[in-house]
Amino acid sequence: MEIDIKKKASVFKALSNPVRLEMVVMLYNVEMSVNEIAEKVNSIHPELDRTSISKHLTVLKNNGLVTSRSEGNKNLYTLKAVCLIEMMNCTNKINH
């Protein structure tokens, strides 16, 4: 089995941002609109505007970590790579 290291590095780079990690957790088993995501993110990071939040979602989507679909005038996002939650739980076992 050939492993595409550059693609994997890109995924890890996308996950290296705390805001994006929080979005991954938010979207686990839940579908949310950009407005809902922005509201939750802003409760933690009030300095972020909606444009920044949309850019973070785009990074996650471009790396295949989340998916989106349109419903009326809303874009709804959900976590595509639910195995990320397992990986995040695994990091709890790593001693720093």
| Domain CATH code at residue 78 | 1.10.10.10
pLDDT at 84 (0 to 100): 82
- Classify residue 85: in a domain, yes or no: yes
* Encoded amino acid at 2, one letter: E
Please tell me the pTM assigned to this model. 0.84
- Classify residue 70: in a domain, yes or no: yes
Contact at 8 Å (CB) between 61 and 68?
yes
- Classify residue 78: in a domain, yes or no: yes
- Classify residue 16: in a domain, yes or no: yes
Residue 65 has pLDDT above 90, yes or no: yes
Distance CA 50, CA 48 (A): 7
- Classify residue 30: in a domain, yes or no: yes
* Residue ranges with strand state E in 1-96: 32-33, 66-71, 74-79
Residue 77 has pLDDT above 60, yes or no: yes
Domain that holds residue 67: 5-91
Give the chain's domain count: 1
- Classify residue 96: in a domain, yes or no: no
Rg (CA), the chain: 14
